[in-house]
C-alpha cells in the first residue's frame, strides 16, 4: 500500500528519541526504584483557582464550537498582555489560539516552509523541532549553539548558513534543553540577518515565565522594526503547570494571521471554549505557581552543579531559565547515549541523552529539575557515584 511522503519525512523523529524515558517507566513498573529526570513535567499541580474556572465554564455549557481564531475574550487578553510586554499595540487580529505550543509551531512551519525550503534552527534544539520543520517538506539547517558562548545563537554562525532557500529562523528563548536566554544584542544581530535576507523569525517563548533571578528575557516582538517578520508562540503549559490542558497561541502580523487562519481551521477550528475561559483568567493575572518553580528549579540546578563538579569527572552547564540542566559527560569516557543507558540500568536514574536534541550534544545528557528536593538530592548522589565508577574503570 502507498503512503504519503510526510510519513517518510518524519520516520525516526517520534518516540524513538524518548527510549530512556520509556525504559524508566518499564523498570518502575517492575518495582525498580527509578528517579525519572527525563521530561519537563511541572513539579506542582495545576492552580486550583484556574481549574475552578474551567469547571465553572463546563457547567455553564462552554462546550460548543469555538471561533476559529480562538475565543474573543482570550484573544483580547493576549493582545493586552503582549501590547504591554512589547511596548507597542498588539491587536486581537494578530492572535490565533491552538491546543498548545506544539500545534502552533506545526501550523507555523507549514505556513512558512515547503518542499525545497530551509529553516535555520539552533543545534541543540527541542526534540520535536526537526519534525515540525520536515512535516511540510522544508529542511532544517542546524546553527551551532556553542557552549563557550553559553549556547546562545551567534549571528555570524547564522549568516554563514543562509542560502537562497532559507525561509525562516526558528528561535527558542529561554531555550530547551540548555536554559540559555538570547540577549537584546543577540536578537538585534539576528534581526539584522533576518532583515537582510527577508526571513521570518519564529520565536518559541514557552519558558518566558521561568527565568531565574539575575537573568532577563527579551522577545523579538519588542523590536518595532521587526514587527512584520516576527511570530511568537507560547502556552500555559509551563508557566501555569498545565501541560495537559493543551492551550497555546501565536502572536503574528495581522495579515499573516489571516493567511494562516484557513490552515488552523482545517486542522482544529479553534480551541475548547471552557479551556479558553480558563486560559483567559491565567493570562490576565500573574501565575500563582511560576515564582515557586523558578526558585526551586534554580536551586536544584545549583545543587546539581555543586554536587557533581565537586566530586568526579562531570561538568554542569548552569541554565538561566527553564526546567533543565545539561551535564557534560566526556570526562567519563562515554558519550551521552552510553552514559544515559548505563545510568538507568546501574543507578536507577533516567536522564535524556543529549543527542535527542541534536548532534552537537552527543557528549551531554539533559537532566530535568522537576522532582522534589529529596529525590533530586538522591539522584545527584547516584549520578556522582555512577560517574566515579566509570572514572575508576578508566584509571
pLDDT digits (tens, 9 = 90+) for 102-134: 999 999 999 999 999 999 999 999 989 999 999
Residue 392's pLDDT band (boundaries 50, 70, 90)?
A: low
106 vs 119: CA distance, rounded Å: 13
Give Cα separations from 215 to 152, 211, 218 (angstroms): 14, 6, 10
Mean pLDDT rounded to a whole number for the chain: 95
pLDDT digits (tens, 9 = 90+) for 63-90: 999 899 999 999 999 999 999 999 999 9
188 vs 230: CA distance, rounded Å: 13
Q: DSSP letter string over 94-108?
A: GEEEESSHHHHHHHH
Sequence ranges of the chain with CATH classification 3.40.640.10:
48-283
Q: What average pLDDT score do residues 307-320 get?
A: 93
* Residue 43 DSSP code: S
> What class does CATH assign to 5-44+289-394?
alpha beta
Sequence ranges of the chain with CATH classification 3.90.1150.10:
5-44+289-394
Q: Which residues contact 31 (CB under 8 A, 6 or more apart)?
A: none
Residue 101 has pLDDT above 70, yes or no: yes
Give Cα separations from 389 to 35, 153, 167, 185, 386 (angstroms): 19, 36, 48, 43, 5
Q: What average pLDDT score do residues 256-276 get?
A: 93
Half-sphere exposure of 285 (CA within 13 A, CB side): 11
Strand (E) or helix (H) holding 294: helix 290-309
119: cell is: 529553516
How distant is the alpha carbon of residue 350 from its chain centre? 19
Residue 271's pLDDT band (boundaries 50, 70, 90)?
A: confident
Q: CATH number of the domain at 48-283, out of 3.40.640.10, 3.90.1170.40, 3.40.50.620, 3.40.720.10?
A: 3.40.640.10
User: What is the number of other CB atoms lying within 10 angstroms of the CB of residue 215?
Assistant: 16
β-strands 324-328, 315-317 pairing: antiparallel
Query: With 0-12 CB in 10 A as exposed, 13-18 as middle and 19+ as buried, what is 117?
Result: middle
Residue 97's pLDDT band (boundaries 50, 70, 90)?
A: very high
* pLDDT the model gives residue 239: 96
Q: Which residues contact 323 (CB under 8 A, 6 or more apart)?
A: 40, 42, 176, 207, 210, 238, 293, 297, 368, 369, 370
77 vs 251: CA distance, rounded Å: 12
- Asked whether the beta carbons of 327 and 364 are under 8 A apart, the reply is yes
pLDDT digits (tens, 9 = 90+) for 134-182: 999 999 999 999 999 999 999 999 999 999 999 999 999 999 999 999 9
Overall pTM > 0.85: yes
Give Cα separations from 94 to 57, 143, 213, 241 (angstroms): 25, 29, 31, 25
Amino acid at each position: 500500500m502507498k503512503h504519503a511522503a510526510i510519513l517518510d519525512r518524519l520516520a525516526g523523529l517520534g518516540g524513538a528519541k524518548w527510549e530512556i524515558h520509556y525504559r524508566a517507566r518499564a523498570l518502575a513498573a517492575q518495582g525498580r526504584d527509578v528517579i525519572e529526570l527525563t521530561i519537563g513535567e511541572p513539579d506542582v499541580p495545576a492552580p486550583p483557582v484556574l481549574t475552578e474556572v474551567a469547571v465553572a465554564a463546563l457547567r455553564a455549557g462552554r462546550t460548543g464550537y469555538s471561533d476559529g481564531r480562538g475565543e474573543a475574550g482570550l484573544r483580547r487578553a493576549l493582545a493586552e498582555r503582549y501590547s504591554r510586554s512589547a511596548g507597542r499595540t498588539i491587536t486581537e487580529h494578530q492572535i490565533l489560539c491552538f491546543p498548545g505550543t506544539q500545534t502552533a509551531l506545526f501550523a507555523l512551519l507549514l505556513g512558512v516552509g515547503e518542499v525545497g525550503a530551509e529553516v535555520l534552527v539552533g543545534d541543540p534544539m527541542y526534540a520535536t523541532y526537526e519534525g515540525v520543520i520536515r512535516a511540510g517538506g522544508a529542511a532544517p539547517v542546524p546553527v551551532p549553539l556553542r557552549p563557550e558562548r553559553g549556547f546562545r545563537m551567534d549571528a555570524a554562525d547564522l549568516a554563514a548558513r543562509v542560502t537562497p532557500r532559507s525561509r525562516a529562523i526558528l528561535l527558542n528563548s529561554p531555550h530547551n534543553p540548555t536554559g540559555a536566554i538570547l540577549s537584546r544584542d543577540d536578537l538585534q544581530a539576528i534581526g539584522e540577518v533576518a532583515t537582510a535576507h527577508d526571513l521570518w523569525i519564529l520565536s518559541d517563548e514557552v519558558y518566558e515565565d521561568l527565568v531565574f533571578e539575575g537573568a532577563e528575557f527579551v522577545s523579538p516582538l519588542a523590536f518595532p522594526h521587526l514587527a512584520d517578520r516576527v511570530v511568537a508562540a507560547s502556552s500555559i503549559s509551563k508557566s501555569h503547570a498545565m501541560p495537559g490542558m493543551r492551550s497555546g497561541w501565536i502572536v503574528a502580523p495581522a495579515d499573516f494571521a489571516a493567511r494562516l487562519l484557513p490552515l488552523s481551521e482545517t486542522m482544529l477550528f479553534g480551541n475548547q471554549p471552557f479551556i479558553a475561559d480558563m486560559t483567559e483568567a491565567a493570562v490576565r493575572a500573574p501565575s500563582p505557581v511560576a515564582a515557586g518553580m523558578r526558585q526551586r528549579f534554580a536551586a536544584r540546578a545549583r545543587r546539581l552543579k555543586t554536587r557533581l563538579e565537586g566530586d568526579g569527572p562531570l561538568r554542569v552547564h548552569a541554565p538561566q531559565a527553564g526546567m533543565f540542566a545539561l551535564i557534560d559527560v566526556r570526562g567519563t569516557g562515554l558519550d551521552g547515549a552510553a552514559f544515559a543507558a548505563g545510568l538507568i540500568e546501574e543507578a536507577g536514574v533516567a536522564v535524556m541523552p543529549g543527542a535527542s536534541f541534536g548532534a552537537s550534544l552527543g557528549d551531554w545528557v539533559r537532566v530535568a529539575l522537576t522532582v522534589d528536593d529529596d529525590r533530586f538530592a538522591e539522584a545527584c548522589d547516584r549520578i556522582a557515584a555512577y560517574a566515579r565508577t566509570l572514572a575508576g574503570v578508566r584509571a
